[in-house]
Structure 1
Amino acid sequence: MSAATKEQEVLAFERPEVMADRATHYCPGCHHGVAHRLVAELLTEMELVEKTICVTAIGCSVFLYNYLLVDSVEAPHGRAPAVATGVKRARPDNFVLTYQGDGDLASIGMAEIMHCANRGERVSVVFVNNTVYGMTGGQMAPTTLIGQKTTTCPGGRCREHEGMPIKMAEIIAGLGGTVFSARAALNNVKNIRQAKKFLKTAFEVQTKGLGFGFVELLSACPTNWKMNPVKANQRIETEMIPYFPLGIYKDLSNEGGVC
């Protein structure tokens, strides 16, 4: 490389210091890394790194603590909101974040997330929805779409047998303690930028002591969907977003919260 070429180089992308300098173990095309990056950028920009405590549960989301250099607690399957409640009440000056997948949050952890939101706990929840159990073999999740094939519904999810996919952002928005609930997607630059804005608001809801903040992120799982990353991104656009519309479902952040 010539000296002239080196002089023209501009650093366009830099890793936040709070992110560990290590190779990802996630499958090619998985969006967990994108979600991690957004969380890391916001913790840095909002000067929350030193006061953050992350709570993760079981599933692919549990490995967050391998990539973010902050204090972390691992909760039993689905119990991250309950553990986060205890952490926040014991350490009210800390920023408490849960990071969960759809199989964890919307299935075994449904009671925990509902009551945590309804009480208006001052925590922030990042909910990664890829419509399948990613770590444990690709089983049907509460958010699996009608007709989607999984290891436990090889013929495709059937409305008559398994019911409709659960829309968590809408459900959480209807609870009394929720200050902010929104859904974004991680399949293109435009949607990723929107996701960061939603996450920032959910984080600010906590830092201002207003109540509960929740952001659902539509994410790809190429391995269990049996697709390459390009087709997985397309599936989010053509199949997931029509059923799980993007946008803000509740925002009381400018109204002083709920209590």
Structure 2
Amino acid sequence: MKHILVCLAFFAFLSCKQKSTEISNKVENSQIEVKSKFPEPLSMVFKAHGGIKQWKSMKSLEFTMNKPDGNEVTSVNLINRKSLISMPKHSLGYDGSLVWLLNKDTLTYKGKAKFYYNLMFYFNAMPFVFSDEGIRYTESEPLLFEGKTYPGIKISYDKGVGESSEDEYVLYYDEVTHRMAWLAYTVTYFSKEKSKKFNFIKYDKWQEIGGLLVPKVLQWYQVENNLPTMVRNNVEFTNVKLSTKAFSNEIFEKPEKAIVVN
């Protein structure tokens, strides 16, 4: 009887050890899959800004920009990217399929509505928007600015991704802190063709919101020979809010008097 109990205990030990190994392998494989989804430098940038897991837990984002005509408030549901930009004299929205524009008085909206509706969101949601699907990552030449070198990660898109899949970006980061420092980008929305002309934004100041390091002040730079030279203008994001709760879909629906933007 004692011999039988010893054998049963031995087989139970082997079974538990096998299950433990299987679980360990699954966890290890899962970690490998997570690590391999992004290049290591980009993963380090995400980590320096609070981590991709924390970002993915957020369902909505809101921020304010002070404009000459008054505050411009942008509200976005992060999963489906439905958005609403509320301005004193206009509202601009995206309901998931259509971009719409509402004039609140007789003043005509002078911007390019379909180009603008998600533009500032994209700049505000850096660096985490570079975790979207359909992105290709390659190494870029570093940026040398005022004696400091910033390593670069080039971002391009699969055909058909977004409004302008020919756009290209380069994220430059601080090689010590791994925080994002610069963004270079091309604009192909109007030409629909690849461009070699890059614009440059310095991510000058950051703020911590909801456990994430998000932009506070952006500096657009003048450019010569595809390199930044001097500050052209600043944009500040205030009243930034990140939440694990999404906005009601109703706020993104096209108002009766709004027009659809093509």
Instruction: Report the TM-score when normalising by structure 2.
Output: 0.26
Q: Which has the higher strand share?
A: 2
Q: Which has the higher helix share?
A: 1
Structure with max Cα Rg: 2
